[in-house]
């Protein structure tokens, strides 16, 4: 690295014309000023330098050197003329000048030198004078010195770049080794090199002579706190607020017993807190609930007084209930679906004592801010149904399957909404390649696609499904290899990378098993069942961001009050050649 000494002299001197009043120096006029400047010390890559530097100047008047003491102001500028000041002036008072020479230390801070051009503006006056500073023109350009001042940052960046280069090289080596392992046959794996698999009996590794030597088990199911847990129930509602799981209502068993209460569960603290009962809606089951961001909206369902006609909103922060307007509201019902659009709750389908609800009253859109309902579009409306599934994509509600007048359905519809979440129009879904007709199935939204799986048709449980791409309006079947056993009324959630599917029922009863489906790899894997997962169906489940959380349902013919959590990490099996 070259010395940071800067010498902006032309033929030995840099001449500045002095402008302004000539009365400041005992009446003498100084037509010329010769100034040179430099930094003290040197900068190396291994030693950082501060922001202060030594400035040396030479002042002449009429060709003769100047003697005396003066007040001198040094200001850093961003242009050769005009422009803005980069920092506050450095004022040296008094500054002694002997034989025309002076030396001083300046410090504008490292932030002043960011690599952009800089100029030094110098003003002078007699020491102790109150007159304005006389400004020397032109300003002195600073061309190289800032880079010496920035040497601390430069050294740090150079060190970081060296580390990045080393890491990049190491990563390239690892990628090469990984490619050799993955692209080659297992037989090419050197002795002693450990490889990992999600298969406890990986046929390829075993055939190549590798042996299983270590297992990292998947995380176990964890039971939630039983303190403050809601009473056992099924057919209840569950919403996730982003921090808490809200459970409300449900069938308590015994033929005609329903709940009008619930609780909020915090997975982080493993604590329950009861939901207020004052002014809560009447007891019910088979209702819907959505979370608006501030409130849980309960709508529909049935209880001891048949189909419920009172509906309500629960403010979690305030712990209070408020009513939902009945003006222009859809007819009372159960077996319907509801989604939150970001501005409206959309209710669709279901039945009441008059039968399936269709063209004349398919549902409605509720605005909790205005406490007002609007009807759904009727053009292109899917055929009436109960117990379908529904997801919200961010721009539309997709409804699929369910039970029609007498048989299961294999059709659906897409309800588009405007930017405010207000429904605008229905669009039919392709039936080419769609799953067979069913109800009791599950549906999850991946962020770009809808996944349908399981359910039952004509009393027979199913273990197949398909992926629907709304952009292309096409269906793609899910793989059958590794799929869970046939079931219906199970829980399914989207984890961000997999559909997690658990519990449910088949002809033999409730199930304590489940699987995860990865659309990117198009494959299934089995979820943990060895650590006390409860056998249940008709429960509720949510994805907390890190865990599958399940509550309630039916087990051995009776409602349960169990909450269980699973971190769905795979078990890892390590192999190597002996």
Domain layout of the chain by residue ranges? 15-149
**Mean pLDDT in residue range 302-326:** 94
Please, what is the end-to-end C-alpha distance for the chain in angstroms?
55
476 touches 469 (CB < 8 A): yes
Give 272's strand partners.
Answer: 265
pLDDT band for 30, please (50, 70, 90 cuts).
very low
Residue that wins the pLDDT comparison between 395 and 12:
395
List Cβ neighbours of 371 (8 Å cut-off, separation of 6 or more).
324, 325
**Mean pLDDT in residue range 264-289:** 97
pLDDT of residue 1: 34
Residue that wins the pLDDT comparison between 224 and 197:
224
295 touches 316 (CB < 8 A): yes
Lowest mean pLDDT among 46-50, 170-174, 215-219, 547-551: 46-50
- Has residue 45 got a pLDDT over 60? no
**pLDDT (tens digit per residue) in 505-544:** 999 999 999 999 999 999 999 998 877 899 999 999 999 9
**pLDDT (tens digit per residue) in 225-248:** 999 999 999 999 999 999 999 999
Q: pTM higher than 0.75 for the full model?
A: no
pLDDT band for 111, please (50, 70, 90 cuts).
confident
56 touches 37 (CB < 8 A): yes
What's the length of the chain?
578
Q: Rounded mean pLDDT of the chain?
A: 86
pLDDT of residue 344: 97
pLDDT of residue 153: 52
**Nearest-10 Cα torsion for 312, 315, 321, 327:** -40
Top-level class of domain 15-149: mainly beta
Lowest mean pLDDT among 17-21, 327-331, 422-426, 469-473: 17-21
**Mean pLDDT in residue range 470-479:** 98
Chain-centre distance of CA 223, in angstroms?
27
pLDDT of residue 364: 97
251 touches 538 (CB < 8 A): no
Which of 291, 292, 295, 290 has the alpha carbon at shortest distance from 343? 292
**pLDDT (tens digit per residue) in 492-507:** 999 999 999 999 999 9
pLDDT band for 2, please (50, 70, 90 cuts).
very low
Give 198's strand partners.
Answer: none
List Cβ neighbours of 231 (8 Å cut-off, separation of 6 or more).
252, 259, 261, 561
What is the rounded CA–CA span in Å between residue 402 and residue 393? 19
């Amino acid at each position: 690295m070259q010395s940071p000494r800067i010498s902006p002299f032309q033929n030995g001197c840099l001449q500045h014309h002095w402008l302004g009043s000539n009365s400041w120096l005992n009446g003498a006029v100084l037509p010329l000023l010769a100034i040179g400047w430099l930094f003290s010390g040197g900068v190396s890559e291994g030693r950082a330098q501060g922001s202060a530097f030594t400035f040396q100047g030479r002042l002449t008047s009429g060709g003769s050197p100047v003697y005396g003491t003066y007040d001198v102001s040094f200001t850093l500028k961003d242009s050769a003329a005009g422009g803005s000041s980069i920092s506050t002036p450095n004022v040296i008072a008094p500054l002694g000048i002997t034989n025309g020479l002076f030396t001083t230390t300046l410090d504008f801070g490292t932030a002043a030198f960011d690599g952009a051009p800089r100029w030094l503006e110098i003003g002078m006056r007699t020491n102790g004078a109150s007159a304005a500073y006389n400004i020397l023109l032109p300003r002195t350009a600073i061309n190289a010195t800032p880079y010496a001042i920035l040497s601390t940052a430069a050294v740090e960046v150079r060190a970081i770049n060296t580390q990045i280069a080393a890491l990049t090289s190491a990563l390239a080596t690892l990628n090469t080794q990984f490619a050799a392992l993955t692209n080659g046959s297992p037989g090419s794996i050197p002795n002693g090199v450990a490889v990992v698999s999600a298969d406890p009996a990986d046929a390829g590794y075993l055939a190549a002579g590798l042996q299983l030597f270590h297992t990292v088990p998947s995380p176990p199911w964890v039971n939630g706190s039983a303190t403050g847990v809601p009473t056992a129930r099924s057919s209840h509602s569950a919403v996730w607020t982003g921090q808490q799981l809200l459970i409300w209502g449900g069938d308590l068993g015994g033929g005609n017993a329903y709940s009008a209460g619930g609780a909020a569960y915090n997975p982080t603290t493993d604590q329950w807190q009861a939901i207020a009962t004052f002014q809560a809606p009447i007891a019910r089951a088979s209702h819907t609930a959505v979370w608006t961001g501030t409130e849980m909206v309960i709508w529909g369902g049935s209880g001891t007084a048949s189909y419920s006609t009172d509906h309500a909103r629960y403010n979690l922060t305030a712990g209070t209930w408020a009513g939902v307007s009945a003006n222009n509201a859809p007819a009372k019902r159960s077996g319907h679906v509801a989604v939150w659009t970001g501005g409206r709750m959309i209710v669709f389908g279901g039945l009441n004592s008059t039968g399936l609800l269709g063209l004349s009253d398919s549902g409605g859109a509720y605005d909790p801010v205005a406490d007002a309902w609007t009807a759904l579009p009727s053009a292109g409306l899917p055929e009436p149904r109960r117990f379908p599934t529904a997801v919200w994509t961010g721009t539309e509600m997709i409804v699929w399957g369910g039970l029609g007048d007498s048989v299961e359905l294999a059709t659906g519809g897409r309800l588009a909404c405007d930017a405010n979440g207000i429904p605008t129009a229905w669009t039919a879904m392709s039936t080419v390649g769609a799953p067979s007709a069913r109800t009791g199935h599950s549906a999850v939204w991946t962020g770009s696609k809808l996944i349908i799986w399981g359910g039952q048709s004509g009393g027979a449980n199913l273990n197949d499904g398909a992926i629907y791409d709304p952009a292309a309006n096409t269906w793609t079947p899910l793989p059958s290899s590794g799929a869970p056993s046939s079931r219906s009324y199970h829980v399914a959630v989207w984890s961000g990378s997999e559909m997690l599917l658990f519990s449910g029922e088949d002809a033999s009863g409730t199930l304590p098993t489940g699987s995860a489906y990865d659309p990117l790899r198009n494959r299934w894997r089995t979820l943990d069942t060895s650590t006390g997962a409860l056998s249940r169906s008709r429960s509720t489940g949510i994805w907390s961001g890190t865990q599958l959380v399940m509550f309630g349902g039916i087990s051995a013919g009776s409602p349960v009050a169990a909450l269980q959590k699973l971190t769905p990490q795979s078990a890892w099996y390590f192999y190597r050649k002996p």
